[in-house]
Structure 1
Amino acid sequence: MKKLLLAGAVALFGLSNAQMTKGDWVISGNTGLGFNSINTNTKVNGTKYDETKVSSFSVTPSVGYFVINGLAVGIDLGFNSTTTKQDQDKVTISSFSVMPTATYYFQTGSKFIPFLGVGIGYSTNKIKYNINGGVVDPLLFQTETTTDGLAWKAKGGVTYMATQSLGINLGVGFDQFYNKETYSGIDYKTTRSTFGVNVGFSYFIKSKAQKSDK
């Protein structure tokens, strides 16, 4: 019985650590729906306008390479879509980001593996306005604007290793987009912050060198 328990403990430890060593890869996909709170504000020469809180949908596919045991560096691709409606008015904000990231997985010796990550990169934001102004017909104002700028993120959570290669993620994340433009001597600054809960999966791929050792 003792040998059986010891073998089980060794197998469990190997399950949580074998796929997060130097040379391994991780492919992830996380989504957030209905939990995100977005706070957007625009400043014109120091005066703040257009503050709102809404719900959103997001999806973040990513790939990472373990440069050392537990630490994966890679790329996150992020897409977020937000629609705000009020009476006959509708505003849709769509953003796409490309962000180099670093994520550290804490080796716990169990199936539950906490992680923390950060990233910084580029984001483009498209805002589509469909403003009716209370008049049903016709539409008074309809246009699109696009802004590009710096984006950064911080994330944390836990991965549950359902198998030796497949993990289920539950985490929280904070993203921020910043843009500054000047027109006719007037500074326009936009800061868009997103905090949300997300779920997803991670697939860990063992390096060929480790496979050949077995």
Structure 2
Amino acid sequence: MAGEDRREQILVAAERVATVDGLEALTMRSAAAAAEVSLRLVQYYFHSKAGLLDAVLTRFSERGYADSRSRIDAIAGASAARRLQMFARSVLPTDDEGRRFHRLGVSFASLAIREPDLAQAAYRANLAVLESVLTHMIGQAAAESGSDRIDAVAEARLLMAALHGLGTMTMVGQIDEIEAAALVDRLLLGRAWFDANGRS
């Protein structure tokens, strides 16, 4: 098996351990057992538990955001505002993959707070990816609506905070998936730069 394939095999197994048993159960040894490889091989590819955590979070988040973007990009001619609205809805935990994504994200956030030396850098890098995507999409929506004097980074951070909270409220049953999507729409429609009837 090629090196990249072996590395991917370990990451898939490590992600399974993290989402099923929790991040506390993810160690280099548990990843090796789940992947049915030697501990030495896991150490070769990831060097430390922090390196393994970083790789798991990076792989999981990149796949999740790529899936969301591909679904949105497939809609030909959608306005920038509509693409943003759909992306924001798509990151809510409304299916099995979304719930796995949110559960792992919350676990990483908790670990980053408890053990910053171990997980904070990886978690902040994950947040930076989402912030960059949202900042770009908000900038496009604002330009389309003619609102060129906005702080797109601040707007992205506000939306990130709302999505995180709505995701958790959905996961614990405080609100249902329909209400979560409706609240996303309400939030966006309340922003001066968001034009729901923008050019499509």
Bigger Rg over Cα: 1
Higher helix share: 2
